[in-house]
Structures are given as C-alpha cells and as structure tokens.
Structure 1
Amino acid sequence: MNSKTLVLVGVLLISALLLGCAQEKTTAPAETPTAEEVKAITIGVTDKITELDPANAYDFYTWEVLNNIMGGLMRYKPGTTDLEPYLAESYEVQDNGKVYIFHLRKDLKFADGTPCKAEDVVRSVKRVMNIAGDPSWLVTDFVEDVVAVDDYTVKFVLKKPISYFLALVATPPYFPVHPNYKADEIDPDQTAGGVGPYKIVKWVRDQELILETNENFFGDKPKTDRVVVMFYKDATTLRLAVEKGEVDIAWRTLTPVDIESLKKNANLQVLEAPGAAIRYLVLNGNESTEYPTKNKLVRQAIAAAIDRDEIVQVVYRNTYTQLYSLIPIGMWSYEDVFKQKYGDKNLELAKKLLQEAGYSEDNKLKLELWWTPTHYGDTEKDLAQILKSQLEATNMIEVELKSAEWSTYTDYARKSAMMLSLFGWYPDYIDPDDYTTPFLKSGANRWLGYPYSDPQMDELLEKASIAQSTEERTTYYKQIQQKLAEDCPIVPLVQGKLTIVAKKNIEGIVLDPTMIFRYYLVYST
C-alpha cells in the first residue's frame, strides 16, 4: 500500500456473519493512532438528508451522516467485512443464540457531555420499536425485549436465534440517541446526535451541514476537526464545484460522463470501489390499490420487456453491470433468475403475457412510472425515459412519466401512491437477507408501501433467517429468488459501484462493504 490511506474493498467478497457460542466473549481492539489533522474539509453531494432520526431514516446518505455523529454497540471495522465491538467493549451469546448480552464501555458520553449508559441504549431501541418508522423492522422482527441489567450491561432477548444479529446491532436503529430526542414521535430535525466522533454545529436543510469534533468522544479524535457538507442541486453544479476547488471531495452523485472527464484532470484523483449498490423497479401490487400491476401477468410482461444491455450502455456507459436478482452478483446464493425466466428485451413473451392479461394494441396497458431527479444522480431521467421506450416497444403499453423530489418521493412510496417506481439499495448489513426481507417480507416492505405480500415467501424468508449453515440458507435463498422471478413484485435492473472524486492532497478515504463514507478518517496533506 502506498502513502495514501485508501482502502477499496470489494463488498462482494465475503458475508460478515458472526454467531457467538454460549458464554463467548469478544473484546474490542485497541484504537489506532491519529494521523495528521487538518482544520477543515468540504464535501459536495447531490444527495439529501431525510430525517436526522434513526427511528425513521432509511436511506443510504442519511445513514452515512448518522454513522459519523452516532455509533452502535457493534460496527464494521473500517475497510473490512469484520464486525467488532464499538460502544460495547465485549458481548456474550447465551441460550443457543436467543440472548445477547453487551457490556458497555464506561467512558461513553453524548456530545454535550451527558453520560450514555445502558438505559440510554434501551430507551433508544424501544423508541424505534414504539414509533414504528420505516427501519423499525430491523428491530421489531427480531427483538422480543431489551433491558438494562445494570448501568453498563444491555440484554437483548430475541424472538428466535438469528445468525446475523450482530450485524443488525451495527445499524442505526440500534444506535443510542441523546435524551433530547422526542420520546414518542419522529424528531426529523434533531441535531443532538448520539455517541460518535462528530457533532452537528449547523444544519440548513438541503443547503449545508457542518460537523465538528466531538470532544467527549471516547475514541480517536477525527483526523479532520471540521467537515462541511454542501448540498448541490445536480451533478453539473457539483462537477463545477470540484473543478473550481470549491469542494475537496465530490461524492454521490456524478454522472458517468462527468467521471470520465474528471479522470483527465491532473488536479484530481478518482477513486472507485466495486460494490453491491443495486437499482430496481418496484411494481406495486398492493391489493388496496386499483393499479393494474396487481395482476401478476402484467408484472411479468414488464419484466420481459426490459433491456438491461441498453440501460448499462446508454445510461451508465458501462459503469454498471446487468443484474438479474435482488441479491447482488458475487454474494453467496446469487442466481440470475430473471435472465433464466425472461431474458432481456423479450418482446414476444411480453406481448403474449399482456394478451393473457386482456390488453392489446387497441386496449393498451396504461402505466405511471415515477422517478426522482437528484437522489440517484442526473442519469435518473435518462433511465426513466429508456424504460418508457422499452415498455412502449411492445405497442401494447403507454407509460406516463412522473417525478418528485426525494422527501416527497419517499412519502409517496410509504403511502403506496406510486404504480411503478425506481429505487436503489445499499446494504444495511452484509447478508442475502438484507437484499430480500426488506422488499419481500410482509410488513418489512412498509417503506415501499406494502407492494407485495405472500405467506409462502414469508415462510421461506423466516426459514432462511434462522438456518445456521450457509449451505442450508443458500437452498432457501435460491427458492426465494425463484419465487421472486415468478411473482415479479420488483424487477432488478443493474448493479454498480461507488466513485469519489477528490483533490490530490486528500487522503484517508476508505470505502468498505458497508459503503458508508467515514468522514473522520479523511485528512489532507
């Protein structure tokens, strides 16, 4: 490794699953020395913060911010797929995996100096359970109860043994939050944070976020004292900002054309990491709606008409690859089930299925396809237009394109107000369950407006989550993927990678399987 602290770890190498044995204890490693510090670094993004509340925030970028101002009992060791204790100093697994006991560090404090103890962990987790926001299923589906044994001991009693519970504990719904958070309702603009390396000193929604070192943090001091995040309208303005030197780092999201151009800029470095970011199309089959996508034949016809090759080449300029399942390529249990069942641009099959559903060239299927302008970058409009063209190539479908900004878009999704909608996914935890349960399990997909519910699928997901061996779990996930292709509530499109553009003097950028950008590791020389 050269002098630059850059770690690009392929997310698809290995699943980080830790299942302790009864009475097993694991101790946190020693902290590493702090590298050269700098006064400030400015990061430019086109993304948006939804809510600064882990009880309801369920999008990739907001989770990134939360991971810089909060932390969990466990975390992924930066640059690896290895889980390690974080706010906990050790843990035990008892009762054949149904009970987890975490022993907290005794030096935990919130940013204002308020001590963080076991009761704060319990309060925060139960708050998530009671508010029942979008990510609450990550707790409620698994946790029967959580109690404070004493000031520094937290006990989780699970509904059933879960092979990946330690990975769940590393997600924001399990982060302890400051007592200033409202007890029984979502607190979207709360800046008190949790126990993390940074604290928020200023936030103007969709304009600016300023973080400064949390002097009460137990761990290493961030390598940059002050981080300024600037929110840009689109990729064009973000690209101009990094070219002019207004920002030190351009992050999520530049267009493929911009990236190609910026690679030629001698003053910049372009860092890329293979990853498990996926894009997909939701076909709303919620039975309470009047959408034609309730008909499985319609959903199958849409899947058959899609041409991923064109999407990869035209929209993403070969920076993405074709994806034929919700589980990403390279992760154990992946099966290219949509390729096997539908292929690409299979217009004859699409027409046949549409005819069976009662449609024709004289009686066309009318669809509404929703997309959001900035959250996924400037290519999103192109993606929506190409999908419209591909579906209308059947001569039996008419597509009306509709768009909404991200906060409105996610609200519409929760309310099941969109017939077809484009979304992307980044891992909550590194396991096939994270690419199936949030979409396909009844209740867990509330954030998408309950577009799909099937008892057989629920049973398969349940069996896969409690099976202990990878071999047995793989068998279940293959069945899950086959049923996904048959029922077709969601159509996988492409799988991509992450790209960061930075000034030449910026170091310490670490992209790991969680795809969370850790600001506290970044510094300049």
Structure 2
Amino acid sequence: MIHHLKPKWQAWGRFLSLFLLCATVVIACASDNDAVENEIETLNGERSRITLGTTQKPSHLDPADSYQIAGLGILYNLSDCLFAYELDSTELKPQLATALPEVSDDGLTYTIPLREDVVFHDQTPFNAEAMAFSLRRFMENEGQPSFLLADIVNSVEATGDYELTIELDSPFSAFPALLAFTGTAAVSPNAYEIGKDQFNEETFVGTGPYQLTEWEEDSLELTAFEQYWGETPENAGVNIQFYANEATELFEAFQDGEVDVAYQSLDVDQIRYLVEEATEGKWQAVSSPGMAVVYMALNVTKEPLDDPQVRRAIASMIDRNLFTETTLEGQAEPIYSLIPTSVEVYEPAFQNQYGDGNIEQAKALLTEAGYSEDDPVTVEIWYPGASHNRHLVASRLQEYAEEHLEGLLQFEPQGNDDGTFFSSVREGLYPISLVDWHPDFIDPDNYIHPFVSCGEGSEETGCEEGGAASQGSFYYNERLNELVTLQRQEQDPETRQEQFAEIQEIIATDVPYIPLWQVKNHVFAQNEITGVKLSPSQGFPYWTMAK
C-alpha cells in the first residue's frame, strides 16, 4: 500500500513510505461496528472518551487522495467499504455489501448487493448510486491512490437501488480484497464533488462508526455516530493528540499518563523499554506480526550485480536472525519471501536455497565468479536518510562482510534524503537499495506484481517499463511475467497457490530482491484501558477499547 516506488503504469502501488517498525501495513476499511454519540448511557454507567497519542499526523482525510499511513489509519475508524476484514483474521467479509460479489464466468463483471439500513454522517441515505459516486470519485479525482481502481476498472454502475455492478478491463482475482482498501470508502454525494483535484482536506463525511467532530493543529476529535448501522463501540469517542513526529514526546507523554494509548511511531529502544515494563504490569503492550516487509532491491543491470553468482552470494551471507535480534532488538521477524509469513501462499524460498549466514557458500560463489581479496566485489547499499533502522542495518551489513568474508565482498553504506533516494531508485542509479513495502490490500498479488511485472523489456536489456523498473531491480523474466498474469486471472485458490510457489522459487533463484524482515506492530495502553487489539489485517480498531 504505502510505498514510494509504485510503478507508474499499472502496478499496485506507486509511493514508498518511510519504514516504520511499528507501522500498520495493510489499511482496510473498518469492521462492522456501531456507535452512539459522546457520553453513552449503559448499564455500567457512562462510557468515557479515550485519548490516543501518535507522531503520525495526516495531511488530510479525503479518501480519494489519502495515501499515507497516518491518514488511512484514522479513516479506517471513520469509514466503511464494500468489504472489510474480520478483526481476528485476514478473512474478507461483506461490510456495506451484504454478500461477496457474484462474478461472471469471464471474470470481468462483479455484481454486489448492498445494505439498505445505512445513512451517512450528514443524514444522506446510502444506496447504490452513492456507492457508485464514491468509487467514480476515487478514480476520476486522480488522487494519489486512484490508479488502484483506474488501471483495471472499466465502469461502475448502480443496476438497482441496492445493487452495484463493476466491469473490469481484464480479470483480477484479488479484486474483492482491493475493495477493502480504505480509499474506496463510501462518502456522501452531498458533501463531495467529482473532478480532478477536488478534495475535501479537513473534513470527512462517510458512514463509519465515528464521525469527525473537531480538527485542530495538533489534535483530532472523533465522536461516536449515533445512527451507525452496526454494533455499538465500547467508548464515546477518541481524542487524537499529535506529537509532530517526535517519538520522545510521545514516549514521555505515555509514561506520564497524559495519553491512554500510544501508537505509531516509537524508536526501537523505546519499544523495547515499554515492552519490558509491560511484563512488570506497569502498562499493557499489544503486539502483532506485521504485513509490511523490508527488502534489498538489487539492480540486475548494474555491475557487479549483473552477475547472478554475485547476487546469490549476497543472498547466502545474509543472517536475518542477527539483524532482527540484535540490530533491531527483536522488533522484527525474519522473512524468506517477498510475501509475508501470514499469507497462506508463503514459501520460505530463500531459506530453502541459501539458508541464513551461509558464509562458506557465499565465499565459494564469489570465488567462482572470479573475485578475490585482491579483487573484491565492492558495492554501495543505499537507504533513505530518515530511516534510522535501515541505517543501522546497512552499517551492520558492512561490518558483517568485513568480519566474515575475508575481503571478498565490501559494502559501502550510503544515505540520501528521502525524495532523492526514491527518485534515484526509479532512475536505476543505485546498485542496492534498502526499501520497505506496505501493501494496499491483503493478497499475495500485491507483494509480487509491483516487483516483477514488466510491460516492456527483455532478458538482455532488463525491464524498461513496469513494476520491476519502478522498484529498482530492472529485472525481466518471461516466465515470471506469464505466471503473474495467470495468477491474476485464476479463480481457483489451489491453482493460484501452485503458481505463487513457482513465482517465489524463481525470485529466490534469480535474486532481483532479497527479503529481510517483516515488521512487528505495537500499541501500548494504560492498565485501565480494555479491549486493545491489533487486527491481523493491520487495522487498529478504536471501537473495541473502553476506559
């Protein structure tokens, strides 16, 4: 989802985000939940508001243009989409829809029945025309994430008062999962307009469990929506306090009890301290495996990485456990595919082929490729300068190669400002770059298509246009292109799993990328807060919390 190196043509993501160790990875629409306004009378008395602290301040909350973790996380709690994820799994379920789509035999037509008991925050009735308006606006206003639908959707029509029909340009088996992306949320036709760059930056009018009631420079106020169609949340609302990208301020505010909940983004050492203190009962720490992955992109068109033996040597010497347990202080998990471990088709292909820290194999491959202590492989590793974690890992890689490879391989870490870094990756200026990927939706396609698809290129010239070029590997493989197309068309899960197994095997053999780790997500709460949870889909639901 959130990645600054999204392909410019039709891959599933165009923009890399800064790596956030405890960041949300897939942001999907909020699950079915209900709310009532402000202080709610119950058998247990009045429900309280909750104060949440974060360093992540959104620039705006228009779903048609929101493509930052900060904004999407808040919209997740304000909005509803056609589909959402169960809170305790990555299983897709209807939300504003009443059932999963009926799909035509050719895979091009999706017919979706809709709920009839929904109103927007401004009292406008929800119906198929309103949903069609919302999806057309998402595409036609040409905001940052608009390509997600615009690249594949031919038309969106209300074919009944509560029936929506969507025609695709080509089959895409993961399309229902894409309709859980928060940007596709329903918005009131009376509060928004269709037109290029027509965005409402400081308001939100949707159908979700909370409505936006106040927006100040350093805070937001969300209040429960009394006419929400779903179940009642456990609090009256949430006050969000922004700490202007200052992790230390958030860290101290939580320790001092100024905020009830701290979420996104704390430094590695701060997370470690809070987790340790939570084991002593001082407060609560809730952790969840992340859906974001961090990887190396190897530019296969640049010497010496145009030699597959050199790429395989680097894959062999990587010791993921060393980096995750020491450099990252246990706040990440090793990964051996571009696809996260929680996705059913995951195969540890890199572990199977190279192991971890296989120094002898790395030496043998480099020697076989003609390198020696007198004539070593020297290669730069680039990373965004704002990413402290990737700086640490690049430096540790340099030290590790010096300690173990007897001069055969020398890494030269280089940082650059974020804008220059991301554009340089796309331009092919870097031999190796350390990059993170936050998916737009939970499907293995979103971890593969953006990385290896190539619309123009050859095995001789590399990828000239397409996902592989945008991600900095410039890798081209005819069989991989064929498999990516086939899995996007395939409706049978078992056949798709076989296709993804072959895809992961090819990537591990050719090494255009080296997967390193997937993030762990953390939220910290004072002891009087109950119901704190992180969804496996990486949503952070406010509505389950009570005080």
What is the TM-score with the length of structure 1 in the denominator? 0.78
State the alpha-carbon separation in 2 of the partners of residues 200 and 370 from structure 1: 37
* CA shift for structure 1 position 386: 1.7
In the alignment, what sits opposite 1:493? Answer: 516
Paired positions, count: 489
Correspondence 1:167-246 to 2 at 5 A? 167-178=177-188, 180=192, 183-185=195-197, 187=199, 189-192=201-204, 194-203=206-215, 207-214=218-225, 217-220=228-231, 222=233, 223-231=235-243, 233-246=245-258
What do you get for the CA RMSD once the two structures are aligned?
A: 3.9
Aligned to 1:401: 414
- Paired with 1:446 and 1:118, the residues of 2 have a C-alpha distance of 39
Distance apart, 1:264 and its partner CA:
4.5
Match of residue 365 from structure 1: 378
Aligned with residue 329 of structure 1, among 341, 362, 373: 341
Structure 1: which amino acid aligns with 2:284? Q
What amino acid does structure 2 have at the position aligned with 1:370? Y
Q: How do 1:457-468 and structure 2 match up within 5 A?
A: 457-468=480-491
**CA, structure 1 residues 433+272, in 2 after alignment: closer, same or farther (shift >3 Å)?**
same
Aligned pairs for 1:242-281 within 5 A:
242-254=254-266, 255=268, 256-264=271-279, 266-281=281-296
Q: Does 1:78 align with 2:91?
A: no
Letter of the 1:245 counterpart:
G
1:71–1:175 CA contact under 8 A, matched in 2: yes
Contact 2:79–2:209 at 8 Å: present in 1 too?
Answer: yes
What is the CA deviation profile of residues 28-72 of structure 1, one whole-angstrom value per residue up to 9, with x for unaligned ones?
989699977644322223445466444454454543222112221
Report deviation, 1:503. Answer: 0.5
* Helix, strand or coil at the partner of 2:98: strand
Distance 1:152 1:62 in 2: 29
Is the 8 Å Cα contact of residues 227 and 519 (structure 1) preserved in structure 2? no
Report SS of the residue matched to 1:88.
coil
User: What's the secondary structure of 1:520's corresponding residue?
Assistant: coil
For each residue in 1:84-143, what CA deviation from the matched residue of structure 2 results, as whole angstroms up to 9, or x when unmatched? 322233455142354222233345444344444434433443344456666445424543
Distance 1:187 1:232, change over 3 A: same
Partner of 2:111: 101
Question: Counterpart of 2:354?
Answer: 342
- Cα distance in structure 2, aligned partners of 1:441 and 1:507: 45
Equivalent position SS for 1:465 = helix
- Match for residue 16 of structure 1? none
Alignment of 1:144-183 (within 5 A): 144-178=154-188, 180=192, 183=195
8 Å CA contact 2:112–2:164 kept in 1: the answer is: yes
CA contact (8 A) 1:138 1:173 kept: no
Cα pair 1:79 1:512 within 8 Å, conserved: yes
Is the counterpart of residue 43 in structure 1 residue 58 in structure 2?
A: no
**In the alignment, structure 1 residue 315 sits paired with structure 2 residue 338:** no
Equivalent AA in structure 2 for residue 519 of structure 1: Y
Q: TM-score, normalised by structure 2?
A: 0.75
**Aligned residue number for residue 507 of structure 2:** 484
Contact 1:41 1:226 in 2 (8 A): yes
- Give the aligned residue type for 2:210: Y
Query: 1:69 aligns to what?
Result: 78
Change (3 A) 1:421 1:63: farther
Shift of 1:271: 1.9
- 1:225 to partner: Cα distance: 1.9
Amino acid at match of 1:211: L
Please give the alpha-carbon distance, in whole angstroms, between the structure 2 residues aligned to 1:421 and 1:187.
34
- Choose 363-372 or 470-479, whichever is displaced more: 363-372
Read off the aligned partner of 1:85 and give its amino acid letter: P
Match of 2:494 in 1: 471
Structure 2 Cα separation of the partners of residues 413 and 315 of structure 1: 25
Match for residue 529 of structure 2 among 493, 506, 512: 506
Query: In the TM superposition, what whole-angstrom CA distance separates every residue of 1:311-362 from its partner, at most 9, and x where no partner exists?
Result: 0221233343321112223543322221233333344554666678787655
User: Offset at 1:367?
Assistant: 1.4
Structure 1 alignment gaps of length 5 or more: 1-27
Query: Structure 2 regions of 5+ residues with no counterpart?
Result: 1-30, 455-465
Query: What fraction of aligned residue pairs are identical, expressed as a percent?
Result: 31
Aligned-partner SS, 1:272: strand
Shift, 1:370, TM fit: 0.8
1:458, distance to aligned residue in structure 2 (A): 2.4
3-state SS in 2 of match to 1:345: coil
Deviation at residue 472 of structure 1 after TM alignment: 1.6
Cα contact 1:112–1:216 (8 A) shared by 2? no
